[in-house]
Structure 1
Amino acid sequence: YIDDNCSFAHLGDVKYYPPYNCYFPTDQMKLLELWDEVGLPHEHKKQIYRPIIPFIGFNVDPNAMNISISLKCKQNLINKVPDFAKAGKCHSLKDYQSLTGHINWSLAVFPLLKPSLSAMYTKMMDKSKLLASIHVNNAVCNELLWFTKHALKSNSVFFLKAIVWDP
């Protein structure tokens, strides 16, 4: 079964939920009561209720309608690039896959930076030995440095193009 649920509530629309001794948005509290009634287990720590919601390393702000990466996560990602992006240096396929996966994760917030992985994917193509060395070429360096430059300037992506929305 899947016990994940996301929703949006108006500020102040909360009800007290006695088992966790705290307030939750009314709809969330009703869902918890339903789960209690049918015997579906749930955990207090998974009941996230706050203006900015952490979700798989991203910060989701439903009020501003945007998603961002925390400064710590962003810096962690950016710090991995300089050691990797040195022309002539060799890295294992596993290292290529690791950095590519980390950058790919960030593309949820930096969707316009997708081209930065083209050379990485080309270098990994048709390779299967995880410990085999792969040389870093100029194309990989240029794309990774381009990614870093633009990721440092980027903060978040908006869910909608319009900032003001009135249903």
Structure 2
Amino acid sequence: MSLIVWIAIRIKGIDDLLHYMDDMFRYEMDPQLEFYSLYNKYYPKKQVTLLQLWDDIGLPHDVRKQEFGQSLIVIGFHIDPRCMTISIPQSAHQELVDMITAFIDSSADHQRPLKKWQQLLSWANWALNIFPLLRPTLQSSYDKILSGWPHM
């Protein structure tokens, strides 16, 4: 992927191109829209240039990943640079609350399998990416998992 990013920046002139794993992204203050015929949509000109590069080298891409706008959902977080906020979409927030509620419901059984603990901690860890100062609150739960439960 690094070679493709290098080509996009150095050869195609897509400045300010950033990437994370296999995702590429950038910002534009005042984008000029251009028609991309494969998706039958208008995108910022440099995004179309990148899509055409991918077409030229045979790199597959998907329309659902081709987003642009004043605010976006990125790895599950709502990013709004105008308001300078990062938040969890309401639906994901409610799903997390529902999972925690079901997890702590002791009406049937007080024990939870290790896998359920790991799932809950993983989801909570993801949610706390936007509240990094709260992450240490998960430490005692991780300690409990690593303390030698027989389920491991």
Question: In the alignment, is residue 124 of structure 1 matched against residue 145 of structure 2?
Answer: yes
Larger RCO, structures 1/2 (Cα 8 Å, 6+ apart): 1
Q: Name the residue aligned to 1:103.
A: 124
Q: Name the residue aligned to 2:135.
A: 114
Question: In the alignment, is residue 5 of structure 1 matched against residue 24 of structure 2?
Answer: yes
CA pair 94-41 structure 1, distance change in 2 beyond 3 A: closer
**Partner deviation per Cα, 1:29-72 (whole Å, 9 max, x = no partner):** 11112222223222222211222222222112233333210111
Q: Hey, what's the Cα distance between the residues in 2 that align with 1:38 and 1:118?
A: 45
Question: Contact (CA 8 Å) 1:67, 1:109: kept in 2 or not?
Answer: yes
Q: Hey, what's the Cα distance between the residues in 2 that align with 1:44 and 1:92?
A: 39
The aligned amino acid for 1:112 is L
- Match of 1:41, SS state, is coil
CA pair 84-62 structure 1, distance change in 2 beyond 3 A: same
CA pair 44-81 structure 1, distance change in 2 beyond 3 A: closer
Residues 2-81 of structure 1 correspond to what in structure 2 (within 5 A)?
Answer: 3-81=22-100
Q: Provide the aligned C-alpha RMSD in A.
A: 2.5
CA pair 7-72 structure 1, distance change in 2 beyond 3 A: same
The aligned amino acid for 2:80 is D
Q: Name the residue aligned to 1:137.
A: none
**Partner deviation per Cα, 1:86-115 (whole Å, 9 max, x = no partner):** 799321211111111110111111212112
Q: Name the residue aligned to 1:93.
A: 114
Q: Which runs of 5+ in 2 are unaligned?
A: 2-20
The aligned amino acid for 1:98 is Q
Moved more, 86-95 or 115-124: 86-95
- Match of 1:16, SS state, is strand
How many residues are paired up? 131
How far 1:128 moved relative to its partner? 5.8
State the TM-score, normalized to the length of structure 1. Answer: 0.66
**Partner deviation per Cα, 1:91-142 (whole Å, 9 max, x = no partner):** 1211111111110111111212112212211211233654x7xxxxxxxxxx
